[in-house]
Amino acid sequence: MFEGKTALITGAARGIGQAIALKLAAEGADLALCDLQADWLEETAGKAKELGRRVECYSVDVSKGDAVNETVKAVEKDFGKIDVLVNNAGITKDGLIMRMSEDDWDAVLNVNLKGTFLFTKAAMRGMMKQCAGSIVNIASIIGLMGNAGQANYAASKGGVIAFTKTVAKELSSRNVRCNAVAPGFIKTKMTDELPEEVQQKMLSMIPLARFGEPEDVADVVAFLAGKASSYVTGQVISTCGGMVM
Ligand code: NAP
């Protein structure tokens, strides 16, 4: 499905980003993998290469404009073009608003929301020129419903959803689509760190009665990135076992 296409994925060293990279590679995409340090990407890159794909790894902090611009330039030079951009890198720094520091607010907004803006802005020029492209942003159901203790994260992901719809409106005349996936509780390092009682409380709220796997998110990203969704833009697909309906 993605033969001859290049997909750039941020935060691809592990978790959901790694699953997205491997799903797109399995479907034929060449990969530009980004994370804070390129050597963390070895595992993802190795597995994708076994699938016969071309893979390049880039060290980049998604919240730094100059580094993002340089990375996108390098990817365009290495691969000739970017067909799919997946803005996946994200962090949490949880705490009740009363105790949330300005630094923790800024850190989460800078990576989750500003990083999505910076990569989109840098990659959209090429996509507009080629009159084709698909941008998929990884939001969260917390951006739809809020969550006590996650004001910074909820605001960042709500912002990603509003940003997604705006990008879709600005770029649709050039056949560039932009959609978001809103995962629920997915088993990764990010959620492993939550206390057992919080995990059990979450489980009781999931109609499909299981936590999601990174591959559940990757399947929806592949749909939004590819031809099967060619008439879909500005949408948010919750991938949460029915937690939000
Ligand atoms: P993860 O396991 O923590 O992986 C995130 C990856 O992004 C890590 O490799 C991380 O590197 C990297 N990253 C962090 N900050 C970065 C930066 N400034 N620049 C470049 N890369 C950076 O997280 P995940 O659970 O797979 O989450 C992936 C995305 O899904 C995030 O946007 C998250 O908000 C979203 N999401 C996750 C869940 C869930 O239940 N897991 C639910 C809803 C939404 P480090 O090793 O330095 O951290």
pLDDT at 190: 84
Q: CA dist 47 to 22, 25, 184, 213, Å? A: 7, 9, 26, 18
Within-domain flag for 89 = yes
pLDDT at 194: 86
- Ligand 1 — pocket residues by CB below 6 A? 10-11, 13-17, 35-36, 61-63, 88-91, 111, 138, 140, 183, 185-186, 188-191
- 215 and 19 in contact (C-beta within 8 Å)? yes
pLDDT at 62: 99
* Cα–Cα distance, 225 to 203 (Å, whole number): 29
Q: CATH number, domain at 190?
A: 3.40.50.720
Which atom of ligand 1 is least distant from the CA of 142? Answer: 43
Looking at the whole model, is its pTM more than 0.95? yes
How many angstroms separate the alpha carbon of residue 26 from the centre of ligand 1? Answer: 21
Within-domain flag for 238 = no
Within-domain flag for 54 = yes
In angstroms, the first-to-last Cα distance of the chain is 30
Within-domain flag for 235 = no
Within-domain flag for 112 = yes
Q: CA dist 180 to 4, 71, 194, 199, Å? A: 24, 22, 24, 25
For the four alpha carbons of 198, 202, 205 and 211, in that order, the dihedral sign comes to negative
Within-domain flag for 215 = yes
Q: CA dist 15 to 8, 11, 18, 25, 239, Å? A: 16, 9, 5, 16, 15
Which of 37, 137, 164, 190 has the most ligand 1 atoms within 8 A of CB, as the residue to mutate? 190
Q: How many domains does the chain have?
A: 1
231 carries an active-site annotation: no
pLDDT at 193: 85
Instruction: Classify 53 as helix, strand or coil.
Output: coil
Give the domain extent around 19. 6-230
Residue with the smallest CA separation from ligand 1 atom 12 is 11
Tens-digit pLDDT string for the chain (245 aa) = 999 999 999 999 999 999 999 999 999 999 999 999 999 999 999 999 999 999 999 999 999 999 999 999 999 999 999 999 999 999 999 999 999 999 999 999 999 999 999 999 999 999 999 999 999 999 999 999 999 999 999 999 999 999 999 999 999 999 999 999 999 999 998 888 888 998 999 999 999 999 999 999 999 999 999 999 999 999 999 999 999 99
